[in-house]
Chains A and B, each alone.
Chain A
Amino acid sequence: MAPASVVISPSGTAAVRVASALSDREAGWRLVHHLARFVDEARVPGVVCAIPTYDAVLIEVDPAEVSLARLGDYLAQVVEGLDHDRPLTATPRTFDVPVLYDVDGELDLPTVAEAQGLSVQEIVRLHSEPTYVVRCLGAPGGSPMLDGPPFPHPVPRLASPRAHVPQGVVSVAGRQATITPAAAPGGWPLIGRTPLVVLDLAAEPFVPYEPGDLVRFRSIDRDEYESLLSTRMVAR
């Protein structure tokens, strides 16, 4: 039986999803990340990898080695023993991310502002004010997935996704925000660009931050953007 703090559902024949059922979103996020780390570190036989996100972790398995039902029972036991109050990182690092916001309207910033009923400047202020927690690494290329800025409404995704979104764009969607480390197709509205290089294929992982680290955005002008191009993203 699954404990009340999570819902465990099969996701096909080679994965289970463990979703938090806690009402406290922060605790739920910590819980799924602690669970992911546990299965990584314990090298649970049959577990191929864990993909923790905001409120859920997808655990991929080799079905030849472990049955999903048995794994589910085991994970339920593990969850019972996890302390979801324990912070994810004892000393989070902070990454300052300079952003050339799309005040000239080359990307989607004016559309986002209009949909929120705010000015472009207010959007820039709301986006660059908070300190964001890296919730998880996502697609594409280990994007730092963040909570959205305190906009009045969720941000609608683009009606037709772009076939090519360049690396370094700063985007928002729904109640989420991110930076794109690698060029890929994408349906999130783009509100700016950072000159920083996020991806380093020689490192493992390829991105410098991990879940629990902090991100701050800072508005810069075109000259500063040009001067910072190709600088690596590093912690403060």
Chain B
Amino acid sequence: MTAGAAPTGASAAGVLTVVEAGSTQITDLGRTRGPRYGVPVNGALDQRSARVANILVGNPDGAPLLELTALDLEFVADVDTLIAVAGADGHLTVDGVGRPSNEPVSVRAGETVALRQLQGGLRAYLAVRGSFEVPLLLGSCAPDSVLGFGGRLVAGSEIALRSATAPIFNDHFAAELYSLDVPRVAHGFIVDVTDGPDIEDFADTAARLFEQPYLVTPTSNHIGLRMTGPLPERRTTGEVLSRGVPVGAVEVPPGDELLVLHRGRGVTAGYPVLAVVTSGSLDVLAQVRPGQRLRFRPVSAVEAAARARAELVELDTLRHRVRSVFAALDALSTPPTGRTLP
């Protein structure tokens, strides 16, 4: 199976053709029906940034979008589109002209879109208004390397676009149309964790998790991040039966590295769960590059839940603001100039 669906004839409004693929894949918020069948959830590693990109173009949060990891992307669409980039900072250009991230950006048919020089993070998300027509497995387009579903785009990959969006430009002042004030995430790699269900297995060594920074090693990927640093030790013995493990589980497998599971994690495993990374900090982990250091910080379940709610409120606020802007533009538009958003 291929990641980019071939254009599906009449149902596709247009086609996005990849010129330079870098390390990009089409994904969404994940295969939530997967884990009950032993299949990982997968999906965008930085869920918040993926949501932001989709919200900025008026898509549902879970619409398929592009996830770039570290490397540059360049593409051309044969219809007018509205795009938005979120996540790691990068240099977005449309036909060579710099355009802002974290805002909707109109692109005319045939213009070259490039996103280069990702920095300050590892992953960026690019959403297109109307999203893509792509194959789904259990309701999700997220690639699964184990099942052999989906995969990375290559130069020449063609992705069917579900809709075109007539360009919206400020004719009078050439100024930016939007000031959406996307909430920024604090810099620095602090990873909040709550106590895991098996923390007692580690007795007094559990606190080592918070003593020093950990160095992320190159074997890290979407399945899990491996890191070196002070290792807590399991003080109990005996066979552990395989159990369901949550995304974000902090484990100490044999060897000399700490393992933090991310969204590609195997659904069951036989290691005790020392701690679990909060949902917001999973987004932080998605942006850490091998060779960088991070620190774990203990939070209470109550505190973690409060922060998660605050993040949801921020996204809700953004969603409402974007809706108001689009509604206003709609009201201003006159059909002959083609400013209407579908």
A residues neighboring B (CB under 8 Å): 9-15, 17, 19, 36, 40, 48-58, 60, 63-64, 67-68, 136-143, 145, 154, 157, 159-160, 173-176, 182-184, 199, 201, 204-207
CA of A211 to CA of B266 in the docked complex: distance in angstroms? 18
| B33 touching A145, Cβ below 8 Å | no
Within the complex, the shortest CB–CB distance from A220 to chain B, in Å, comes to 26
Contact of B268 among A64, A145, A201 (CB under 8 A): A145
Docked complex: B248-294 residues within 8 A CB-CB of A: 248-249, 254-255, 265-270, 273, 276-279
* Interface flag for B177 (CB, 8 Å): no
Within the complex, the shortest CB–CB distance from A205 to chain B, in Å, comes to 4
Within the complex, the shortest CB–CB distance from B249 to chain A, in Å, comes to 7
Chain B residues lying within 8 Å of A11, measured Cβ to Cβ, are: 196-197, 245-246, 249, 273, 276
Task: List 9 A-B residue pairs with CB atoms under 8 Å apart, sorted by A's residue number.
Answer: A15-B246, A49-B36, A56-B243, A63-B279, A138-B38, A138-B266, A176-B241, A199-B147, A204-B138
Chain A residues lying within 8 Å of B267, measured Cβ to Cβ, are: 51, 138-139
* Interface flag for B203 (CB, 8 Å): no
| B243 touching A205, Cβ below 8 Å | no
A-B contact count (CB 8 A): 148
Within the complex, the shortest CB–CB distance from A179 to chain B, in Å, comes to 12
| A63 touching B308, Cβ below 8 Å | yes
Chain A residues lying within 8 Å of B34, measured Cβ to Cβ, are: 49
* Interface flag for B171 (CB, 8 Å): no
Q: Mark B74-94, 1 if CB is under 8 A from A, else 0.
A: 000000000000000000000
**Secondary structure at chain B's binding surface: helix, strand, loop or mixed?**
loop
Q: Mark B137-177, 1 if CB is under 8 A from A, else 0.
A: 11000000011110000000000000000000000000000
Contact of B35 among A49, A64, A154, A160 (CB under 8 A): A49
* Interface flag for B301 (CB, 8 Å): yes
CA of A22 to CA of B268 in the docked complex: distance in angstroms? 21
| Top-8 shortest CB links A-B | A139-B266, A12-B276, A58-B244, A51-B244, A142-B38, A137-B38, A138-B268, A9-B197
Within the complex, the shortest CB–CB distance from B274 to chain A, in Å, comes to 11
Nearest opposing residue in chain A for B277, CB measure: A12
**Most interface-central of A14, A55, A159, A173 (chain B CB within 10 A):** A14
Using A54-B241, A138-B242, A206-B147 as known contacts, say yes or no to A14 and B37 having CB atoms under 8 A apart.
Answer: no
CA of A127 to CA of B312 in the docked complex: distance in angstroms? 51
Chain B residues lying within 8 Å of A137, measured Cβ to Cβ, are: 36-38
Chain B residues lying within 8 Å of A141, measured Cβ to Cβ, are: 38-39, 146-147
Contact of A68 among B36, B248, B301 (CB under 8 A): B301
Using A137-B38, A138-B267 as known contacts, say yes or no to A154 and B239 having CB atoms under 8 A apart.
Answer: yes
CA of A19 to CA of B240 in the docked complex: distance in angstroms? 13
Nearest opposing residue in chain A for B193, CB measure: A12
Inter-chain pairs besides A53-B244, A139-B40, 15 sampled, C-beta below 8 Å: A11-B249, A13-B304, A15-B276, A40-B36, A49-B36, A54-B242, A60-B246, A138-B38, A141-B38, A174-B240, A175-B241, A184-B146, A201-B1, A206-B147, A207-B37
Chain B residues lying within 8 Å of A199, measured Cβ to Cβ, are: 147
| B241 touching A53, Cβ below 8 Å | yes
Using A10-B301, A201-B149, A204-B138 as known contacts, say yes or no to A49 and B279 having CB atoms under 8 A apart.
Answer: no
